[in-house]
Amino acid sequence: MAEPVHLRPRRPCPICKKPSTQKFHPFCSKRCAEIDLGRWLGGNYAIPAVENEEPDEDQPPEAS
């Protein structure tokens, strides 16, 4: 097998915008990877409960 040609451009680290490394892709370092992970675990993102898709059409939307 020949070396794969890198057709895709390298994306910068989403945390600090430095060139990402293969080891910590898509981040530049373990630190940035942990920062990103901490963002999710820290609850900074409001994750909608998409798994619980119960139709809620019995109750009309409250009009203020």
The verdict on 37 binding Zn ion (CB under 5 A) reads no
Query: What angle (nearest 5°) sits at the alpha carbon of residue 9, between those of residues 6 and 12?
Result: 130
From candidates 8, 19, 21, 28, binder to Zn ion by CB under 5 A: 28
> Judged by CB under 5 A, which of 10, 16, 37, 40 binds Zn ion?
16
Q: For residue 43, how many C-alpha atoms fall within 13 Å in the half-sphere facing its CB?
A: 0
33 part of the interface to Zn ion, by CB under 5 A: no
Q: What minimum distance in Å lies between the beta carbon of 16 and Zn ion?
A: 4
